[in-house]
Amino acid sequence: MIQSDLQEYLISIRRYLHQYPELSLQEFETTKFIQKQLQDTGIHVRKTSLKTGVFAQLQGKSPGPTIALRADIDALPIEEQTGLSYASKVKGVMHACGHDFHTAALIGAAYLLKKNQNKLKGNIRFIFQPAEEIGGGAEQVIDDGQLEGVEAIIGLHNKPELPVGTIGLKAGPVMASVDRFRITVKGKGSHAAIPQNGKDPILASSQMVTALHSIVSRNISPLESAVVSVTRITGGTTWNVIPGEVTLEGTTRTFNDRIREEIKGSVQTIVENTVRAYSGEAIIDWFPGPPPVINDTETIETIYQAAQQQGLNTVDPEPTMGGEDFAFYQQQIPGAFVFFGTNGNEDWHHPAFTIDESSLIKASYFLYESALSLLQGFQLKQDKKRELNNEPEWK
């Protein structure tokens, strides 16, 4: 396949995925489609106990370490409003975060790596991960053993704000930890005109919302980044009755595991003490999501060189308080998560979200070159170590 054919092939793959998006953990047809592309390319698909997601391995010509490349494959419950000729054919479901782009880019990288299998000193693991949007996908992949034997992992996310040919690379934290909380405030309902006979959970909740906002400004160092957002208040049925219960929901974000624990502690302190002042009770349910995405310095340096060689323009991206379950992989092995310029009209999760498809083949080449560079880096390190310790070669 010549380059222009590869570009056309990748665009056709991406458009197919775009027309038939599937929600998290329901990526059945997507899974079959990816398997078929890999098998047609001659790449071995690994066994899995997961119902969706595809895991594959390309064995290099010579033995060496294994590097993983990861794409997420799920779509969102959003009604598409792009007006594109290849818009979603599934009502209320859309690839509005560009995971169709990630999937197609990784299929392209797999094709390039297979074609250059002779150059490979080591192996490539391909991870087409389900359920990124609802969280939990990465943990399932790890529990399924798909990361075993892997030395390092690379993932990318499209970035609508960056032009095509520009890539955002940064060592250290780039995306935040994500925790969700639900606070049930229990008081005692009463007639609106006889408040002295009740314990008003609406007033207690209102004080809580205000007090929770003091965590970032008063408890956390101004040099750290953190967010506490209360995003939902549910309670009451009408205008003249004080309800017995109110529910608050929200999320907390930060880049630092210690701060993450501190915020959780502060939420508990504020909720418990506020509700006590109103003689009520509160139950806090805490749903921890992914930790922060923290990029490994050495891995970033290696793929920075690969990006430069490929002629990509590299920029230092601003970290985002959004989260990514790629972080779970980075708790196991060194990894790098990078932002790939796609020159979109709208931000992620917008119904009119688009991608400039000329970026697609660049993303495939970037993953391909990065994987080669990482393998080479590991090989050099291993050679040095072997020389020093008189150890045998990779087996």
Taking the complex as a whole, how short is the minimal distance between the CB of residue 73 and Ni ion, in angstroms? 11
Which residue lies nearer to Ni ion by CB, 272 or 318?
318
- The CB-nearest residue to Ni ion is 97
Taking the complex as a whole, how short is the minimal distance between the CB of residue 390 and Ni ion, in angstroms? 47
Residues of this chain, 23-62, that bind Ni ion according to CB under 5 A: none
At 364, list the tokens: 């495939």
Cα(329)–Cα(364) distance, rounded to whole angstroms? 21
Q: How many residues bind Ni ion (CB under 5 A)?
A: 1
Taking the complex as a whole, how short is the minimal distance between the CB of residue 56 and Ni ion, in angstroms? 21
Sequence letter at residue 277: A
Taking the complex as a whole, how short is the minimal distance between the CB of residue 355 and Ni ion, in angstroms? 12
Residues of this chain, 215-254, that bind Ni ion according to CB under 5 A: none
Helix (H) / strand (E) element for 288: namely strand 281-288
Which residue lies nearer to Ni ion by CB, 160 or 187?
160
Residue 219, number of CB atoms within 10 A of its CB: 16
Residues of this chain, 79-98, that bind Ni ion according to CB under 5 A: 97
Which residue lies nearer to Ni ion by CB, 75 or 233?
75
Phi, psi of 56 (to 5 degrees): -140, 165
Which residue lies nearer to Ni ion by CB, 191 or 349?
349
What binding mask, one character per residue, do residues 95-134 give for Ni ion by CB under 5 A, x or -?
Answer: --x-------------------------------------
Cα(340)–Cα(296) distance, rounded to whole angstroms? 18
377: Cα within 13 Å, side-chain hemisphere: 19
Cα(329)–Cα(354) distance, rounded to whole angstroms? 28
Taking the complex as a whole, how short is the minimal distance between the CB of residue 312 and Ni ion, in angstroms? 20
Taking the complex as a whole, how short is the minimal distance between the CB of residue 180 and Ni ion, in angstroms? 17
Taking the complex as a whole, how short is the minimal distance between the CB of residue 156 and Ni ion, in angstroms? 10
Q: Which residues contact 343 (CB under 8 A, 6 or more apart)?
A: 160, 162, 163, 164, 355, 356, 359
Q: Across the chain, which distance is largest between two alpha carbons, in Å? A: 86
Which residue lies nearer to Ni ion by CB, 97 or 293?
97
Which residue lies nearer to Ni ion by CB, 97 or 183?
97
Q: DSSP letters along 145-206, please?
A: TTTTTEEEEEEEEEETTSPTTEEE--SEEEE-EEEEEEEEEE-B-EETT-GGGSB-HHHHHH
Which residue lies nearer to Ni ion by CB, 137 or 244?
137
Cα(61)–Cα(121) distance, rounded to whole angstroms? 6
Chain contacts with Ni ion (rule: CB under 5 A) = 97
